[in-house]
Amino acid sequence: MSEPFDLVIRGGTIADGQGGDLIEGDIATVKGRIAAVGKVEGRGVEEIDARGKLVTPGFVDIHTHYDGQVTWDERLTPSAWHGVTTAVMGNCGVGFAPCRAEDRDRLIRLMEGVEDIPNPVLTEGLPWNWESFADYLDAVEGRRHDIDFAAQMPHGALRVYVMGERGANREPATMEDIVKMAALTREAVRAGAVGFSTSRTLNHRTSDGQPTPTLTAAENELLGIALGLRQAGEGVLQVVSDFADPEQETAMLARIVEESGRPLSFSLLQSDRAPDAWKFLLNWVDQCVARGLPVKAQVCGRPVGLLLGLGATLNPFSAHPSFEAIADRPFAEKLAILKTPEMRATLLGEAPRSDNPFVKAVLRNFSKMYPLNDPPDYEPLPSQSLGAQAAARGVRPEELAYEWMLADEGKALIFFPFLNYSDDTLEPARTMMMHPSTILGLGDGGAHAGMICDSSFPTSMLTYWTRDRTRGEKLSLPYVVQSQTRDTAAAVGLYDRGVLAPGYKADINIIDHDKLTLHRPIIVNDLPAGGRRLVQKADGYVATIVSGRIVYRDGAPTGALPGRLVRGRREAPMARAAE
């Protein structure tokens, strides 16, 4: 009699990650790998009845910021609650390695400013038991986790490590600096980094308000680092840019890709400042692909939206003098004060006071503020905005914002879509997602603790785009599954996962697609130093499986922690067998 399988999933509706039709069948796993798909005759040590349930590969999220959380937490939530089984961190040029002891606070302030992770959280949470990037990988590999994760070399940390104060102040790199950065990047990739990331946007600033160290890095610096990847023989390039001069910036990036031969992806979103600029960039991608250059755009199927609320980083009255006077008081005390008629009258009679153009633009734009219900609506109609509702009721929008901010005992949230929603529709996002040279990303799991909660993108894709959308065409279920499994895995060189076929890694989701429900984000205080973060849960994930072990069952952790650091490129089973 043959040995039993470790796990058999029976009778599920399988979307295998390759974009083909759904099939009914079984899946068997052995030693963390998929052993059979179809009709499985043998028995499993453990079996799951998946009849009527959707079975997919585990989702691969290529744009996260768990660089800090992975050092203190065994669970990479919220991403793991949304079927993600592999998370790629170190995006946008920010991270914590390499780093000398004297630069630790500088990198903390950079991460705090760019990704809204509070300084006390990082100061208390980071163990700093590393200096080099290889040391960092060894440190995080020594901990157990629920899901797999991979890391990229962040340009901000690298530049400060090599250039010190000059790097932080955005001075031009010398040839000696570039040679050192290239060598360190080569060493990082050989140690297990899956790539290198950089930021060229003014939106990324330190908590002191200084631009990111990499903002104005010259082409010779970026090319030198990319050639370090070429020398290592693998690794991807990840870029976020303002594309202030789109012709010049895209030409430079194309030259870097052409000379280094390394794949590049960049963040692509619709901006209110230039609502049609994404079309130019997609056309540029087409031109690159026609020349044989491996360039892709990272896109998403939702607005990137600020969450405003009493417990969040910002609320509609954050810049009002009377609110600033109580901003640091405990939540319950603030709520009690705001409930008084006196404070209400005072705040509604004041104007916001801020020199920050972003804050000023947000806090007075009530036509782009939407009450966030449960479940949330991420493609709201203009008539649902606080501004439109206030006009319909004949009241000032500030009054309605105040009312909503105090709803649910101050736990209510207001959604402010500031990217991907210039036309009050997700049709541009759909066009971007359907382009053959785009990949899903930008969820930012582990970051934006008090302002954004987009790590639930995988669940939105399954609920809204394949089932619930009424304001336009939907997307097919096989396409959406492939887009966040095989396609994202391949984009960072992880060809051993993202597909349900024999030999592939047994990372699997079992989902009740009919009942899958995304809930409104909530604020919890579970970070080091009692730090606050926004999290978002979902109902309908029957089981999430990593390396053949069930890590979440009906959304609850099982105690299994098979997640591991993924060091570098991984070949597909057939490719490995042929070598």
pLDDT tens digits for 520-540?
999 999 999 999 999 999 999
Whether residue 478 is preceded by a cis peptide bond, meaning omega within 30 degrees of 0, is: no
User: Is 211 within 8 Å of 205 (Cβ atoms)?
Assistant: yes
152: helix, coil or strand? coil
User: Is 60 within 8 Å of 547 (Cβ atoms)?
Assistant: no
The structure tokens listed for 410 are: 């101050």
**How far is residue 290's CA from residue 32's CA, in Å, rounded to a whole number?**
39
533: helix, coil or strand? strand
Q: Which residue has the tokens 């759904």?
A: 22
Give the CB-side neighbour count of residue 557, counting CA atoms within 13 A: 14
Integer angstrom CA distances of residue 190 from 181, 182, 284, 372, 568: 14, 12, 31, 45, 8
Beta bridge partners of 523: 534
Res 578: pLDDT = 33
Res 574: pLDDT = 77
Res 364: pLDDT = 86
DSSP 427: H
Among 506, 533, 436, residue whose Cα is nearest residue 72: 533
Split the chain (579 residues) into runs of 10 and give each run's mean pLDDT. 88 98 98 97 97 98 98 98 98 98 97 94 98 98 97 98 98 98 98 98 93 98 98 98 97 98 98 96 98 98 97 95 96 98 97 81 92 97 98 97 97 97 98 98 95 97 98 98 98 98 98 98 96 97 98 98 98 62
CATH 2.30.40.10 residue ranges for the chain: 5-56+505-517+538-578
Res 1: pLDDT = 41
DSSP 174: P
Q: What is Dmax (Cα atoms) for the chain?
A: 81
Res 50: pLDDT = 98
Among 236, 239, 199, residue whose Cα is nearest residue 216: 199
Res 3: pLDDT = 84
**How far is residue 178's CA from residue 175's CA, in Å, rounded to a whole number?**
5
Q: Nearest 5 degrees, angle CA 86-CA 431-CA 429?
A: 60
DSSP 271: B
Res 529: pLDDT = 96
Res 575: pLDDT = 47
The structure tokens listed for 402 are: 């105040």
Res 363: pLDDT = 87
Q: Please name the fold of domain 5-56+505-517+538-578.
A: Urease, subunit C; domain 1 (2.30.40)
Res 545: pLDDT = 99
